[in-house]
């Protein structure tokens, strides 16, 4: 799995950080998502999928085949 975030779309809701803190963080100054792990380990895939699904701005894209 490969994760791509669109910082321009991010609204800073922070749901991704709550669900998958090993993969996502937020910038202190504006709350925009920071991708910590672009290719997360298999045991984190479920959490990453959930984070992408609940993102209100649809700023997280997943490539399941990567």
Q: pLDDT per residue over 2-50, tens digit each?
A: 999 999 999 999 999 999 999 999 999 999 999 999 999 999 999 999 9
The per-residue pLDDT for 66 is: 64
Q: Please determine, for residue 51, whether its predicted confidence score (pLDDT) is greater than 70.
A: yes
pTM equals 0.94
What does the alpha-carbon distance between residue 47 and residue 38 come to, in Å, rounded to a whole number? 14
Q: How confident is the model at residue 65 (pLDDT cuts 50, 70, 90)?
A: confident
Strand locations in the chain (E): 2-5, 24-26, 33-35, 60-63
| The pLDDT value given to residue 8 | 97
């Amino acid at each position: 799995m490969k994760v791509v975030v669109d910082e321009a779309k991010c609204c800073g809701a922070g749901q991704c950080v709550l669900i998958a803190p090993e993969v996502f963080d937020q910038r202190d100054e504006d709350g925009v998502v920071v991708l910590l792990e672009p290719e997360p380990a298999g045991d984190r895939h479920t959490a990453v999928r959930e984070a992408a699904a609940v993102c209100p701005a649809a700023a997280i894209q997943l490539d399941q085949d990567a």
